[in-house]
Chain A
């Protein structure tokens, strides 16, 4: 079943056409990668799904047309975004950030969810009363991911979770993504680091200057000579 279905999505900032009419979909339970170079339009695509960029086209989530849905209601449908640059609330404490993730919930499960996040990222637990802005980049990425999970999403949108992080931290974060995926979460993973993203994913889309130019299963993309040359440096 298609959880997210996108038809002819265009994003235009004034005169700039950042996304030029793309079609793609995510099946429930899938991990799908969207890879592409700087400026290809990956973030714009995610921001359009989240109603944060001016766009046209059709978006369906869980069979529901998203045309009339406001950005602040998406999380109630089950869509969570870990934005590019993490978007943590730096003056609030780590725990307050996580609790913001659970803003739409009002039940006792918030507490168990919080413990779950602390088990996934023990570093966040050690620093739970610290201002989030004092965390290292890697810890902030963990926090942004943890915060998104606190909303109990059906679809997790990730915008370059590996950006600017040391390989060890990236591995820690991707290990957690693997665990979450094993629990059945649908993940849309936007990455410049194509190798990393495709290794985790089942399928992938390749984006170039606003268009999807290629789509295939992840193993096939990893073997594709064009991809290997352009994105994997081989």
Chain B
């Protein structure tokens, strides 16, 4: 049986999630030149908060889809608040520090959030209760289920929405101006702090939805799920050209597909020596490859970072 189509579908689904998370990295990087390593943890918190709400409501007798939606609707504002607070408390005081300082702080924030989550939700895997009646559809030899379709559609909508916000609205114009030259944007009346807070809040809202999607896709959540996902999404952002929105979307989907194709064909190619459990390796080979051959990313400008 040919697995190509199936791997393509799987790649598209996980790639859509990477893309949404990668947008969070790229938005913040675009404005602050900061790699917010804690972003993956926001995804995890989104999943955990949503699951907690869902857990509380499971026996309420409400329809399953409504319970899931309520979980998501609680996770989004919570994550927005957490994202806002992280910037306010951890990063803002370091705004003018050498760039290594906020980077190390970001790693610190990530560790703190992970441990906090472990204390609140424990070390066990938390499973997504079977609230939704999942439908399966077959396309020639491959299958796709309703959750996967939902993930792809919601991601596409969010990407389109964000693209519109950033490229077509007055607020987006101010965000881009601030990213290019915060001092001059300030002279036009833009309060850079407001824009920066907003960037974190938007990125965190996307992360909350991504967290929900990951849990729905794999049926579990875990306190350290944000780590690997964060690294991959960061890889996707670098792959597309960090700081570039379309790059993050493109990089996310491409990475999802590379990974899934790699996992699908690795066994055949190596005569069974390596199995699909080597899937994660592909993401990081891709990252290394990009860093060596096109450090500015596929859609990034040559020369990389602007002065």
Contact = CB atoms under 8 A, between A and B. Distances in A.
Nearest to A51: B186
B188 A104 contact: yes
Interface stretch (B13-21, B54-62, B137-145, B170-178): B170-178
A92 B188 contact: no
B190 interface: yes
A71 B186 contact: yes
Given A72-B192, A92-B173, A100 B180 contact: no
Contact of B189 (A52, A87, A151): A151
Nearest to B301: A91
B183 A87 contact: yes
Interface in A47-71: 50, 52, 70-71
Interface string A22-65: 00000000000000000000000000001010000000000000
Interface string A72-83: 111110001101
Interface residues of B, number: 17
B173 A71 contact: no
B176 A101 contact: no
Nearest to A75: B189
A100 B188 contact: yes
A103 B176 contact: no
B185 A100 contact: yes
Nearest to A151: B188
A92 B178 CA distance: 11
Interface residues of A, number: 26
Interface string B164-207: 00000010011011001101111111111000000000000000
Contacts of A92: 173, 176-177, 180
B189 A104 contact: yes
Contacts of B186: 71-72
Contacts of A100: 173-174, 177, 185, 188, 190
Choose among B170, B174, B177 the residue with the greatest number of A CB atoms under 10 Å from its CB.
Answer: B177
A90 interface: yes
A96 interface: yes
Contacts, number: 63
Contacts of A89: 176-177, 180-181, 184-185
Nearest to A82: B187
A212 interface: no
A91 B179 CA distance: 10
Nearest to A79: B187
Contacts of B184: 83, 87-89
- B170, B187, B188, B192, most chain A CB atoms within 10 A: B187
A4 interface: no
A185 interface: no
B304 to A, nearest CB: 14
A96 B170 CA distance: 9
Q: Name which of A70, A71, A73 has the most chain B CB atoms within 10 A of its CB.
A: A71
B187 to A, nearest CB: 5
A99 interface: yes
B284 to A, nearest CB: 30
A163 B187 CA distance: 21
Contact of A75 (B170, B174, B187): B187
Most chain A CB neighbours (cut-off 10 Å) among B174, B189, B191: B189
A169 to B, nearest CB: 21
Contacts of A88: 184
A74 B188 CA distance: 9
Interface in A80-126: 80-81, 83, 87-92, 96, 99-101, 103-104
Contacts of A75: 187-189
A81 B185 CA distance: 11
A30 to B, nearest CB: 22
B180 A72 contact: no
Contacts of A99: 170, 173
Contact of A96 (B173, B181, B189, B190): B173
Task: Give the 10 A-B residue pairs with the shortest CB-CB distance, closest first.
Answer: A87-B184, A104-B189, A72-B186, A75-B189, A89-B180, A103-B188, A103-B189, A89-B177, A72-B191, A71-B186
19 contacts: A71-B183, A71-B186, A71-B187, A72-B186, A72-B191, A72-B192, A73-B189, A74-B187, A87-B181, A87-B187, A90-B180, A91-B180, A92-B177, A100-B177, A100-B185, A100-B188, A103-B190, A104-B189, A151-B189
Interface of B: 170, 173-174, 176-177, 180-181, 183-192
Given A90-B180, A96-B173, 17 more contacts: A50-B187, A70-B191, A71-B183, A75-B188, A81-B187, A83-B184, A88-B184, A89-B177, A89-B180, A89-B185, A92-B173, A92-B180, A96-B176, A100-B174, A100-B190, A103-B170, A103-B190
Interface of A: 50, 52, 70-76, 80-81, 83, 87-92, 96, 99-101, 103-104, 147, 151
